[in-house]
Structure formats: C-alpha cells, structure tokens
Chains A and B, each alone.
Chain A
C-alpha cells in the first residue's frame, strides 16, 4: 500500500445559512479561480431563494441576539477570534490564493482581521455609553437615549479584500445586535465560506450571520427590495449602477443604507460602521417625588 499515491480530498464549499451548511437551492455552482486564473474550487452560486431563506433565518435569530446582553455578545465575538487564531493557517492559504498575496502579506491581513474581531468584541458593551446617555432636561425626570439594533442587515461584502474587508463589514453589524445576510465577494468567496465554519463553532447562534456566495447583481435587487430587511450595506456593490439601483429599491421600506466608498481596511475603523446600523431610542422616566431638599434621594 505504501507506494500508492494518496488522492487528496477536495473540499465542497457550502453556504452558511441558519447555522447549517446547505448547498444552493438552485443546485448551481461556479468556478472560483486564484488571482492567476487557476481553478481553486467550486462555490455555490446562490439564487434569490437562498437569499430569501437567509433572511428568514436572520429574522428568526434577531430576537435572541439583540436581546442577549452586550457582555455576552462580546464574549461570543471574542470566541470567534480565538477560533480564527486556531485556523489561521487555512485562512492565510485561502487569502494568499484569492488575492495573489505572498504568504507574509496574507498572514498580515489575516492577523489584522483577527485583531478586528477582538476590537469589535470590546465595543459591544461600550458603544451604548458613547452614542447613548442621559439627556439634560429642565424638570424632575430623566431622559435617556439608548442605541438599539436596526434588525436584519444585508451586507454586500467588499470585492477585493476577501477576508480583512469581510470581517470589517460583518463584525460591526453583529456587534451591536443586528443579524446579517452577507453576499461574499464574487471572485474570492472561499475565505467567507470558511469563515462560516468558524462561526458555526464559536457559540454564535445560528442565523446571526448567514453567508451566501454568488452574484451581488443577482441577489442584491431581491434583498434590497425585501420588506423584511431593515438595512443594507452596499460596500461591495461597485459594479456600474448596481449601488444606485439597490439604493432605489431599498428606499421602498425606508431601509438604512450605507453607501459604497473607497476604504482602506487596514486603518483603524472607528465607530462609524457600528452607528450606521443603530437606531436611537429615547425615553423619559420620572425620578419620583422630590423631598423638601429638592432631591428624591
């Protein structure tokens, strides 16, 4: 037996929807090549029905994820970073092939992506203090503003930065309690599909992140017009008029829209991507009767 050449086992890349790994409902796949045009793997070519199923899964997961304590969400996101660290080699390999980077450059990108998870994990229980707070009022009551997650967010992931860019758009969406339906980079979807495997083993409830591979131009219009999607991040919609068309479709039910722009994902991201998908809820609350001293305490 020892002189028989071993056949390597090819990986079937699958979608990540509702915590499971389905193939595309349509049964279609497309060829993914590296930066030099050499075949790497077949990825599922998702249809609008996969997108629909992903929205259903994201909606189902929203209540539990938005209702989890910020501390708990932070712990889970940190856990994602831990899992990524353990599978760094695989991601370095995939990113190097996808983006045509040297092994060192790819390792830098993957490490930056892991650090980004940690960065956003830390923000989960701090963002409310930064963008919310007690508003000054001229009366014996409190007036408090708190940020609330918007709901189900469709994310068109960046086309070029297949992993650092991907993490930089997903993490801020879910850190604040939204759930995400992600359309991975069309030409480099493999790191995204592998990320699904990491998320599935990181205590992240199924459906919080759903990853679809395929054409943004095919699924985008259906997701942008979907009445049960509350916001859309158009970062990766860089083809021609796609971003404009999606924005028009998104206006129908007043989705929050994050427009595409040139972005350097290696720079510190700031809080903008988190606040883009937050809504501020303001409530007033009586302080109770004031004593003779003018204070209720």
Chain B
C-alpha cells in the first residue's frame, strides 16, 4: 500500500484549507432521513432461509471482530476470548474463525500471543478510546504502542468535540497523522461515534472526512453510548463508501459496532451490504461486525441448522 493514498491526491484541493474542506463537506447532498430509514427498514424484511441462511451465518461469523473493551479485562479473559475467536464452536470444527479480536492496547501482546498462527487478526482501539479527548501526541503514542505490541488493525476514535464545533481540518489532520503512524503496518478503522453526531448529514460528512484522510475502514460506534450501529446509519456509510469508490477507485471497509446481538439483525446488515455496495464487500477484508454476544447467537443458530434441534445457551461458552 503506497504511503500517500490515491484518494488523498484526488482530494488535494478540497483539503488544502479549512475553508475549502468546510465548503466541500457542507456541499455534500443532504440526507433524506425518512427515505434512508424506510430503505433500511424495507431491506430488513428480506427472508433469508435454509442454504442462504447457512451461508450468511458462516459469513457473519467470519466477519466478527470479537470484542472485549471493559475496565475489568484481564489477560485470562483476553486469552479466553482469543481461544473462542480461533475456534468458536469446539463441537463443530467446520465453524469459521472470526476475523479478529478487538482489545485495549495494553492487552494486544496477550491477544497476539493467543491467536498466533491462526490467521485471526488483533485489532486494538487507540487514541484515547472511547472519548478521544487527549492531545495528538498522546494519541500518537497510544497508537504506536499498540502497533509495537503487534496490533494488525487500529480502531481510532475521532474528536467529536472538534467535529461538532466545525473544526473539520483538525479532525482531518488527526486522522491523517494516525494513518501516517499506522503506515503499512496496520489497517486503520475510524470510529465516528454516530450516536453523538446528532444528524445523518453529520454522519455523511464524517464518512467523507474519514475516507479522504486515509481511513481503511469507517466504523459506526464505540459501543459505549446509548445509540450504536443501526441499519440506517450503516446504510448511509455504505452509500458513502460506494460513492467514494466510484469517484476515486479506492475501496473502503465498513464496520457497524455495538448493539448487534442476534443472527436476524446481523443478516439484515449483510442484506444492506449486498444491496448497497454489492458482493465486493461481502468479505471480512471489507466488512466487519464489532460484537461480542452476537457470536453466541450465530453459533446457536448454526447448531440449529446443522442438527435440526433448537440449541441453548448451555451449549456455547459464557463470556
């Protein structure tokens, strides 16, 4: 991957000054909120059964960033999580691995050792997660620390305070600086915390801002606020990555996170992906779920499809 993404060159004039950036972001078409929600709701009514459901369940499992972001995380808990990511259902070895485990920076080394050799990646939140309220040097050090410990992916949070105050250039430069720190060593996911951005227009602006600044992935939320990933805000972000690729040729990933707890909801998101951006994104390199309890529900549904019997929480691990 070149250090200066072609996307950055394509938008060199837009990002040349604070004023130009503001004009560009505010010049993006407004979001039809009613239309967006109706579209997301109507795509949620698709009936996905039998073989299609089996495919969707396996795909969803392979797209999970199995996450633990608690103050009470211990090395033991992270190792247990990593073991589950590598081998989600010990009673059925055909179950796919999850895409990654997602932990705090201080747990990266533990997680890395636990998933070694399995192909499961280690993602680390960074930049003063979840609030993002720290000076840039602190955020850079946080990121460098996680990468040095072996993180394959960095989930950064944007400074919502600066964004909502209209200081877009500051947000842009911070993302670009973190991207430079990641370089070729880690893929960068940029978390907007859509629940704090108030409007769909803001989510669209944040998406473009993040993509122009070099994000490899755009991610809805931290999972720490009341409103997390919803079908509507994920659909809006999918439209943004679709338009961005049409304009620049650069493909960006999307990661809804938080609040997706069962198979039915996860499959609705996969329908959104397929209908909005198409099959190119139906791969864990381009679409992820940030989740923890979702995996157990997917495994129970998978067991039901395999055996014909309803499964129960006694037959999956407690985490």
**A residues within 8 Å of B by Cβ?**
52, 55, 59, 222, 225-229, 252
Asked whether, in the complex, the Cβ of B313 is within 8 Å of the Cβ of A228, the reply is yes
Show 22 residue pairs from A and B whose CB-CB distance is below 8 angstroms, ordered by the A residue.
A52-B310, A55-B312, A59-B312, A59-B313, A222-B309, A222-B310, A225-B308, A225-B309, A225-B310, A226-B309, A226-B310, A226-B312, A227-B303, A227-B309, A227-B310, A227-B314, A227-B315, A228-B311, A228-B312, A228-B314, A229-B312, A252-B309
15 new A-B pairs (CB below 8 Å) besides A59-B312, A225-B309, A227-B309? A55-B310, A55-B312, A59-B313, A225-B310, A226-B309, A226-B310, A226-B312, A227-B303, A227-B310, A227-B311, A227-B314, A228-B310, A228-B311, A228-B314, A229-B312
CB distance from B245 to the nearest CB of A (A): 40
A-facing residues in B301-319 (Cβ within 8 Å): 303, 308-315
With a cutoff of 8 Å between Cβ atoms, the chain A residues found around residue B314 in the complex are 227-228
Once the chains are docked, how many angstroms separate the CA of A252 from the CA of B308? Answer: 12
With a cutoff of 8 Å between Cβ atoms, the chain A residues found around residue B313 in the complex are 59, 228
With a cutoff of 8 Å between Cβ atoms, the chain B residues found around residue A59 in the complex are 312-313
With a cutoff of 8 Å between Cβ atoms, the chain A residues found around residue B308 in the complex are 225
> In this complex, what residue of B is CB-closest to A48?
B310
Once the chains are docked, how many angstroms separate the CA of A228 from the CA of B310? Answer: 7
> In this complex, what residue of A is CB-closest to B310?
A226
Once the chains are docked, how many angstroms separate the CA of A225 from the CA of B312? Answer: 11
> In this complex, what residue of B is CB-closest to A51?
B310
CB distance from B310 to the nearest CB of A (A): 4
A-facing residues in B84-133 (Cβ within 8 Å): none
Of the candidates A52, A55, A225, A228, the one having the most CB atoms from chain B within 10 angstroms of its own CB is A228
CB distance from A227 to the nearest CB of B (A): 5
With a cutoff of 8 Å between Cβ atoms, the chain A residues found around residue B315 in the complex are 227
> In this complex, what residue of B is CB-closest to A52?
B310
Closest 7 CB pairs of A and B: A228-B312, A225-B309, A226-B310, A227-B312, A227-B311, A52-B310, A227-B315
Once the chains are docked, how many angstroms separate the CA of A229 from the CA of B303? Answer: 15
Of the candidates B308, B310, B311, B314, the one having the most CB atoms from chain A within 10 angstroms of its own CB is B310
> In this complex, what residue of B is CB-closest to A225?
B309
With a cutoff of 8 Å between Cβ atoms, the chain B residues found around residue A227 in the complex are 303, 309-312, 314-315
CB distance from A153 to the nearest CB of B (A): 14
Once the chains are docked, how many angstroms separate the CA of A113 from the CA of B267? Answer: 47
With a cutoff of 8 Å between Cβ atoms, the chain B residues found around residue A228 in the complex are 310-314
Once the chains are docked, how many angstroms separate the CA of A103 from the CA of B288? Answer: 65
Mask of B269-312 contacts with A, CB within 8 angstroms, 1/0: 00000000000000000000000000000000001000011111
CB distance from B261 to the nearest CB of A (A): 13
Once the chains are docked, how many angstroms separate the CA of A55 from the CA of B313? Answer: 12
CB distance from B25 to the nearest CB of A (A): 45
